[in-house]
Chain A
Amino acid sequence: MKNSKLALTLLAVAIGLIGCGEEKKPAPSIEIKIGHVGPLTGGIAHLGKDNENGARLAIEEANAAKIKIDGKEAKFTLVAEDDQADPKVGTTVAQKLVDAKVAGIVGHLNSGTTIPASAIYNQAGLPVITGSATNPKLTEQGFKVVFRTVGRDDQQGPAIASYLADTKKPKLVAVIDDATAYGEGIANEVEKTLKAANIKLLPREKGTDKTTDWKAILTKVKGKKADAVFYGGMDATGGPLLKQGRELGLTAVFSFGDGACTNDMTKLAGAAADGLLCSQAGLPPQAADKKFLDAYKKKFNVDPILYSPFTYDGANLLIEAMKKANSADPVKYLPELAKSNYKGATGQIAFDDKGDRKDAEMTIFTMKDAKLTPIAIIKSGKTTDYAEFMKMAAPVAAPAPAAAPASAAEPAKK
């Protein structure tokens, strides 16, 4: 009998919860809900919050602009959910957003949660734009509703690899990764590009995302006389890797993907960090759009961390498409979204037929005097010196070109 009581209690709880899902009476204006998902708790909660802030900013600006859709004034609200960076939770919250009848979704942050969630959105026919999931697989699933404003791993990997190959001309490269989806993914792409450039490679070495002792691997690399190292992984493991390499007297050039392209590298690797090369998907925030930076700073009182310009653009793209279609109905505005050609905070955005961003820019940084400094922009395989790029972009982009170099000294902070 205990069991039946329990079951009844559960049922009561379940029924009680129904009350929580009540919706507000629609105002005379039209209410449009836009979902955002990212980890708001857990190891990368700060990045999740940053993403959410980007989307929130876009929505509040749209509300302030009093956009008319279907003759009614549109009131956008952001439904922010937490997926804890866990695929299981990711699908649950995706369902929650579908239940809540949002018009579109910005998110998720990780590829690992975005991929399973995208199947649910696809079935519900809800457009989803991620500003940070870089795994190529996401858009290879054939879902028509999935878009991304950020570059794919197989766009970023080639960028840093070809920059490394062109400027440092290494003869033998050691590619190391941390055996995570991100680290392995980008390392694979780097390997491919280097191979195509006829550069010899050592067999792939792997640690984990918790490895602190890299000495055995680095000693092997030293023994094989590699003159460049690429590491696909985060700064927490990349820092010790770099430091231990220098301790062992390894003189090779060290290069990293965006996970280890943070100013924390100086804290983690000390003086050894100087001279490292690393890449970030997209334009550096300070080159992106001064207006966005200022608005973000003013609203949230912090600097954008990493991907918020991309989620900001993602939310704006949804809103633009709704404006053009004059409807918040996913069926009606989805074609407009696919046809987008929009000037966002991260540059001109258009999607290819998979939903990936066409010609996404990549930025190469180097560590100089304990600060990450952009040195080159790569777009459609073409490398432009950063200073030149800013000169070219100046008349079109920020109205105050003089401000750009000054803020250039302060890139993405973590």
Chain B
Amino acid sequence: MKKNRRALWAGVALIALTLLLLPFALSQAGTAWVRIANIALLYVLLALGLNIVVGFAGLLDLGYVAFYAVGAYVYALLASPHFGLHLPFWVILPIGAAVAALFGVMLGAPTLKLRGDYLAIVTLGFGEIVRIFLNNLSQPVNITRGPQGITGIDPVRIGGIDFSRSDSVLGVVLSGPMKYYYLLLGLMLVIILINVRLQNSRIGRAWEAIREDEIAARAMGIDTTGMKLLAFAMGASFGGVAGGMFAAIQGFISPESFVLVESVMVVSMVVLGGMGNIAGVILGAVLLAFVPEILRWTVEPAQQALFGKMLIEPEVIRMLIFGLALVLVMLFRPAGLLPSAVRKRELTQERAP
């Protein structure tokens, strides 16, 4: 590892530079591409959060979108004309993360005893319950505005900078989406950092032990209950942050943005990239988030040219790709595109001396 250190740093610097300059390159092609990149970043945040639950602790969560929704609604309720509240984003984001974490514990606590597949189904049900409540809490008292969704959500404002407008900083014009890009990038780095630190900490090792063999982990003196709850809460809080950002960027949210398919999509990203491996999860998220756009640019024109009309919609191809990705990865490369190094190692080597 050590001899590669220089190459590693060079690589990191290159990535950093690319990421910093990316929005300028993208906005040459149109600000729309910056927005697409922002959505991809949101998925990266979600995938990193889910990775804690699924990848680190081995608890398959099919209702992850619930936490995303909770974060988004917390933001929307605290910063929109609906209740007339307009709190600044740096107050709301932690609140959203905390509320989402609370929901994570609410989901985790009753399901501690459940095994993998039962847990998956229960989490799926939980995700649906949250969505159904959001969709119906417009009556008898109007809390969420139900299916009508919440409009006029405040954009992020830091000091005098409004993230929904263009500004010029030092002679460089930054459009709204570009500012969000850097904000999301910053959040992503923080979350990656937390992920990396967690993975190599006592907590991370405890999760790993639970994932490999829960009974043995308990026998080793690990507080499996607390650790599992922590995994749920941590994963959920990242989902909440992503949800808050989604609400701020969109300015409008409604329950139809938080359906089961979104959960499945995030699971696909984690599975495809490599459960438990941070780089892999990011790769999976970016790949699958860009799929629809890539298809739009390739499949549509190709079909138009070949058949003169669209036979298979890109949307359908996208879903088929998700489905196939899940099946093929499990069959042929169960550890994902970039397998986690830890997964290959023996559990014994990880034990504390």
* Residue ranges of A at the interface with B (Cβ–Cβ < 8 Å): 1-4, 6-8, 10-11, 14-15, 17-18, 20-21, 41-42, 45, 84, 87-89, 91-93, 95-96, 98-100, 112, 115-116, 119, 123, 135, 137, 140-141, 179-181, 183-185, 204, 206
Contact = CB atoms under 8 A, between A and B. Distances in A.
A177 B152 CA distance: 25
A399 B134 CA distance: 52
B236 to A, nearest CB: 22
A160 B154 CA distance: 36
A141 B151 CA distance: 8
A6 B8 CA distance: 14
B252 A181 contact: no
Nearest to A16: B29
B148 interface: yes
B348 interface: no
A227 to B, nearest CB: 23
Interface of B: 7-8, 11, 14-15, 18-19, 21-22, 25-26, 28-33, 35-36, 39, 135-136, 138-139, 146-149, 151-152, 164-165, 176-177, 249-254, 256-257, 279, 283, 286, 292, 297, 310, 313-316, 338
B252 A87 contact: yes
27 contacts: A1-B7, A1-B11, A2-B338, A7-B14, A14-B29, A15-B25, A17-B33, A20-B297, A21-B28, A21-B29, A41-B314, A87-B256, A87-B257, A88-B250, A95-B31, A95-B35, A99-B30, A99-B32, A115-B252, A119-B251, A123-B165, A179-B136, A180-B256, A181-B254, A184-B148, A185-B147, A185-B148
Contacts of B279: 3
A137 B151 contact: yes
B254 A98 contact: no
Contact of A11 (B22, B32, B176): B22
A3 B251 contact: no
Contacts of B25: 11, 14-15, 18
Contacts of B316: 41
Contacts of A179: 135-136, 146-147
Contact of A92 (B39, B135, B147): B39
B80 to A, nearest CB: 11
A17 B294 CA distance: 11
A288 B11 CA distance: 65
B243 to A, nearest CB: 13
Contact of A41 (B22, B297, B313): B313
Contacts of B11: 1, 3-4
Nearest to B152: A141
